[in-house]
Amino acid sequence: MSRILDTMHLSPEVKIGVPDFDDRYRIMNAPAAKARETLREEVRTAIRALDPFVWLRLSQADYTMLKDVDLDRYGADDVVGDLEALARVVALIGA
């Protein structure tokens, strides 16, 4: 659906001009220029390190990440790794 809306110039999504990133993630509620400035290669790499995730919100008010995990296989080391990866994203975007 997103691609259809893109072709009609009706998509609420922001595109940063990096096809693999634009196709994989939806950037919403951000000025396009600010999104492109913020999501430089180093930040995109750090975000990819968080995969898989369902929802990632980075705002001036908060940082929220929602992951769908199998609790039988997701342990304390996984939690620490995800929090460290999220902290890296936050540090890179200058929070």
What pLDDT, on a 0 to 100 scale, did the predictor assign at position 5? 45
Mean pLDDT by 10 residues, the chain (95 residues): 49 83 87 90 94 86 89 95 94 82
pLDDT at 49: 93
Number of domains in the chain: 1
Q: What is the DSSP letter of 9?
A: T
5 part of a folded domain = no
Reading the block at residue 65, the tokens are 């990440």
Cis before residue 52, ω within 30 degrees of 0?
A: yes
Q: What pLDDT shows up at residue 3?
A: 54
In a domain, 15, yes or no: no
- Residue ranges making up the domain that contains 50: 40-95
pLDDT at 12: 66
Residue 44: inside a domain: yes
Instruction: Note the pLDDT of residue 62.
Output: 85
Q: Which residues of 61-70 are buried (b: 16+ CB within 10 A; e: fewer)?
A: eeeebeeeee
